[in-house]
Structure 1
Amino acid sequence: MARNILIGLGAGLAAALLFAALISGTALAFPLFMLSPLPIAIAGLGFGTLSGVVGAALASALIGAAIGPIAGGLYLVLFAAPIAWAAHLIGLSRTLDGEPPVREWFPLDATLLRLSLAVAVAIVIAGYALGYDPETLIDQTLTVIQAWLAQDAGGSAPSRAELEPLVRFNITLMPFTAASLTLGILVLNAWAGARIVKMSGMLQRVWAPVWTVVLPPVAAGALGAALVASFVLPGGIGHSAAAIAGAIGFGFALTGFGCLHALLIGRPLRSAILFVAYALSFVFVLPIALMAALGVADTFFHFRARRFAGRAGMP
């Protein structure tokens, strides 16, 4: 136990240092910030839940002491606690009676759904903690952008009225995009942590390709309800619904990419098609929405299961 606690302390220190890169302003600041949950994931997956929890607690405490209590609390809610919980779920198993006894692992499908819901709750908490107010934020953003463009472009800078539609669009979408980005960071770190622990020979769980994960129909129902509520309900309730829709929707986008991976196995130009799909998703929202739609459709029509029907097993 002492070793696992020490591992967790080291992971927490590493996570806090990676997060601190965000305030450096260098080109590597954001990539290093995105990888800040990775040490916690490695500790939790390789050395157990206690290591992950200790790492999450120490990282949040160090960030709170160095930057401020709000920053530490938000890191705990948004990244540290969810990644430690995800590592716990990935390593969770039970032994079923039989000859010989069978070890059953907690499903990755259920892990992704729970992580999506945890992210939605975290974004709602963060929004209330920071006092998210779209109109105020739009006004402040327009003021900053106008001042910045006026320095560079002088009299040819676009007017406030010309800038407002784009700024309003992006800030209105912020609950969706913040939830999507947060879930993406957590899933990336959980996957990378599992790969690293597997390479070290310490991953007890049998490896399963990530593209085999399929969200259940109930998640599609929750996504539909959250989307409707986000457009219909006003104020904080609508923003909360948007965060739920963003998290679950991005979860479906991930399963949509998984479905695309599966459907293209053995096909010509598979690598090129996947590269273009991922590249476009980093720039535009539409490809992510299309992948989410594919993920929802696959939940009901089982495209990848049909693709491998009749085979002895999926590759």
Structure 2
Amino acid sequence: MLASPYALMMALGSGLASAVLFASVIAGTTLALPLFMMSALPIVIAALGWGTRAGILASIVAGAVVAAGLTGLSAASYLANIAFPAVVASHLIGLARTEGDHVEWYPLGRVLVASALIMAVLAVIIGSVYGYAPEGMLPRLAGMFAEMSRAPGDTTPIETLRVQYEPVARLTLRMLPVVIPIVSTVVLVLNLWLGAKVVARSDRLARPWEDLSAVRAPGRLGVAYGVAVAGTALPDPIGLFAGPFFGALSAVYTLIGLAVIHNVTRGAGPRPIVLATVYGLLFLIPFAALVPILIGLLDPVFKFRDRRRNGPPAAT
């Protein structure tokens, strides 16, 4: 039971909004993908502002609408990949332990890791259920690349072009189990941040707003990341199953590395230029994420943010 009729209306409205955003991807317009990526946002708002039960009810409503408007398989995909991670992560954000007058909230670093692991596990489950056969998909993907690259009037046989693009297709297929959890983790975290901002503006966010640049990785996460990295070098299927965990934890360390950069540049004159350069490189060259990942990994050892706080005052 929800606490009030207003909470019930919010849950129903959030579920409907989430279903519409999820279904917008079939439109094929320029805004279709951004709207689809925000389909977890209404669920987050309902869960953070009106409780986990409201988030669950909103998810059920959205799943029913998707099933009625699209297919049962689409609804199952929505509930597993969109609603479930959003509700669990929102619930963790609202968890607190009270000792006398002191309230200890569930650490945001652990929320971040839990969100990433959920996405990794989902990727492994989906790969196990639907099967993942790179060699079987290779000719189709190479042929697609060949068709896309073929210039008008080009008389080169498509089979020749397909063979030329096989190495690119093979690399793409190998990277998919890594890239998908990275993207899904970042999208979920973005929805959590936006949802918390919206709820905070309405004064319904129970948890005090925290300095996100101070978020730290839980202890021993580096060991788990090292195991995931080593696992990707093992023969399949272990290598394939390790890929999603490597990708998801890479997203965690990328975000933590960015938090460190935001923290240590605070108050510095060239801060806007530094941040614009960092995010521009991440957008244009995804492999540039190696820099924030390395910073995130080294932060527990060198304590960059503590050095900044204990150092001389920053220029204003």
TM-score, normalised to structure 1, is 0.92
Amino acid at match of 1:302: K
2:17 aligned with 1:19, yes or no? no
Q: CA deviation at 1:278?
A: 1.1
Change (3 A) 1:89 1:147: same
Q: CA deviation at 1:268?
A: 2.1
Query: 2:96 matched to which residue of 1?
Result: 93
Residues in 2 aligned to 1:161 and 1:280: alpha-carbon distance in whole angstroms: 32
Query: 1:223 matched to which residue of 2?
Result: 225
2:109 aligned with 1:106, yes or no? no
Q: CA deviation at 1:217?
A: 3.2
Q: CA deviation at 1:62?
A: 2.5
Query: 1:291 matched to which residue of 2?
Result: 292
Amino acid at match of 2:155: G
Query: 1:305 matched to which residue of 2?
Result: 306
Amino acid at match of 1:165: P
Residues in 2 aligned to 1:273 and 1:153: alpha-carbon distance in whole angstroms: 46
Q: Deviations over 1:10-44 (max 9, x none)?
A: 11110110111111110001100111110001111
Coordinate RMSD, CA, aligned: 1.9
Amino acid at match of 1:56: S
Residues in 2 aligned to 1:198 and 1:311: alpha-carbon distance in whole angstroms: 33
Change (3 A) 1:153 1:38: farther
Query: 2:282 matched to which residue of 1?
Result: 281
Give 1:147-226 correspondences, 5 Å limit.
147-150=147-150, 152=152, 154-155=154-155, 159-226=161-228
Q: Deviations over 1:36-90 (max 9, x none)?
A: 1100011111111111111222223332333323322222222211111111111
Residues in 2 aligned to 1:25 and 1:299: alpha-carbon distance in whole angstroms: 44
- Asked whether the equivalents of residues 120 and 181 of structure 2 are also in contact (C-alpha less than 8 Å), the reply is yes
TM-score, normalised to structure 2, is 0.91
- Asked whether the equivalents of residues 5 and 50 of structure 1 are also in contact (C-alpha less than 8 Å), the reply is no
Amino acid at match of 1:135: E
Give the unaligned 5+ runs of structure 2: none
- Asked whether the equivalents of residues 216 and 299 of structure 1 are also in contact (C-alpha less than 8 Å), the reply is no
- Asked whether the equivalents of residues 217 and 300 of structure 1 are also in contact (C-alpha less than 8 Å), the reply is no
Q: Deviations over 1:225-270 (max 9, x none)?
A: 01111111312x3211110110011111000000111111112221
Q: Deviations over 1:104-123 (max 9, x none)?
A: 21111111111111111111
Look up the SS of the partner of 2:98 in the other structure: strand
Residues in 1 aligned to 2:295 and 2:153: alpha-carbon distance in whole angstroms: 43
Which stretch shifts more, 43-52 or 120-129? 120-129
2:133 aligned with 1:133, yes or no? yes
Q: CA deviation at 1:150?
A: 4.1
Give 1:36-47 correspondences, 5 Å limit.
36-47=39-50
Change (3 A) 1:11 1:265: same
Which stretch shifts more, 54-63 or 256-265? 54-63
Look up the SS of the partner of 1:233 in the other structure: coil
- Asked whether the equivalents of residues 45 and 194 of structure 1 are also in contact (C-alpha less than 8 Å), the reply is yes
Change (3 A) 1:290 1:126: same
Q: Deviations over 1:279-304 (max 9, x none)?
A: 22123222112211111111332111
Q: CA deviation at 1:148?
A: 4.1
Residues in 1 aligned to 2:278 and 2:304: alpha-carbon distance in whole angstroms: 18
Q: CA deviation at 1:139?
A: 1.7
Change (3 A) 1:226 1:163: same
Query: 1:120 matched to which residue of 2?
Result: 120
Look up the SS of the partner of 1:124 in the other structure: helix
Change (3 A) 1:58 1:162: same
- Sequence identity percentage: 33
Query: 2:78 matched to which residue of 1?
Result: 75
Amino acid at match of 2:103: R
Residues in 1 aligned to 2:311 and 2:279: alpha-carbon distance in whole angstroms: 30
Residues in 1 aligned to 2:102 and 2:32: alpha-carbon distance in whole angstroms: 45
Residues in 1 aligned to 2:80 and 2:310: alpha-carbon distance in whole angstroms: 42
Give the unaligned 5+ runs of structure 1: none
- Asked whether the equivalents of residues 4 and 50 of structure 1 are also in contact (C-alpha less than 8 Å), the reply is no
Amino acid at match of 2:221: A
